[in-house]
Amino acid sequence: MQIDLEHLHYWMCAIRESQDPKRTLDAFWRGQINSKIWLIEEYSKVRNYSANLPRIDIHGGWVGVLASMLFQSGLKIDVINSIDIDPNCEKIANQMNQLEYQTGRFRAITSDMCSYTSNADVIINTSCEHITQDEYNIWLNNIPKNSMIILQSNDYQIPEHIRTASNLEKFKEQSHLKNIIYSGELKTQMYNRYMLIGFSDV
Ligand SMILES: C[S@@+](CC[C@H](N)C(=O)[O-])C[C@H]1O[C@@H](n2cnc3c(N)ncnc32)[C@H](O)[C@@H]1O
């Protein structure tokens, strides 16, 4: 995974111009970045080559680092929307993805993922540990049946993680995906991260 200097420039701008630069830097811990590289690698193996350029929605997209890494991965992508409930994330994520924002390929949107209607080809939620099971069930129910779903969670016990999974099997049980085409686990220095790729219907 290569990060180019032009994108790096806008990453630095986004951090510098954040209200809380230290908090924005939390998105760049090694475990965070490695989890996103892992997601991109596994998605690249299962993506639908015959389809049109995919539209991707990232729910709980935070400050937009995953979107930027996807744009830089070399994968063919039409547009990415990054949806986050925290209004502070919108400006930072748009700055983080300034090159694609300027060309209309990226938008950060402030919304609760549970009430946001996505019609993207690929829907990513790497913030599963930040919503309750009831919220997750509502969220999954809103996802189009033919969208590919990519989920990540972890076993990292901190107060803001309200629904961790103690292992991959537990994460599968929580996630209710009927058709799982990839499942795996990544050990980071602080925690284990779990990922599922699949569809909500068979
Ligand atoms: C700390 S961040 C991301 C952590 C995640 N492990 C990752 O690497 O992507 C979690 C994000 O989820 C967002 N979030 C929490 N509940 C949400 C909801 N109901 N709708 C949209 N975003 C939400 C938070 O605002 C925050 O930006």
C-alpha pair distances (Å), 3 with each of 14, 26, 57, 160: 15, 18, 21, 30
Of ligand 1's listed atoms, the one at least distance from the Cα of 112 is: 20
User: Structure pTM?
Assistant: 0.96
Mean pLDDT for 27-50 is 92
The domain that holds 75 is classified in CATH as 3.40.50.150
Given this model, what pLDDT does residue 84 score? 98
Mean pLDDT for 40-49 is 90
Query: pLDDT > 70: what percent of the chain?
Result: 98
Q: Kindly tell me if the per-residue pLDDT of 26 is higher than 80.
A: yes
108 is written with which tokens?
């950060």
d(CA 177, CA 161): 21
**Which residues on neighbouring strands pair with residue 59, listed in sequence order?**
83, 125
pLDDT band at 52 (very low <50, low <70, confident <90, very high): confident
Q: Kindly tell me if the per-residue pLDDT of 200 is higher than 70.
A: yes
The CA 59 to ligand 1 mean position distance, Å, reads 7
Residues with CB under 6 A from ligand 1: 32, 60, 62, 83-86, 89, 112-114, 126-127, 130-131
Of ligand 1's listed atoms, the one at least distance from the Cα of 152 is: 6
Q: How many domains does the chain have?
A: 1
Given this model, what pLDDT does residue 202 score? 59
Domain that holds residue 136: 5-199
- What's the chain's Rg over C-alpha atoms? 16
pLDDT digits (tens, 9 = 90+) for 64-98: 999 999 999 999 999 999 999 999 999 999 999 99
Categorise residue 176: left if φ over 0, alpha if ψ from -120 to 50, beta otherwise. Answer: left
Question: Which DSSP string corresponds to 57-90?
Answer: EEET-TTSHHHHHHHHTT---S-EEEEES-HHHH
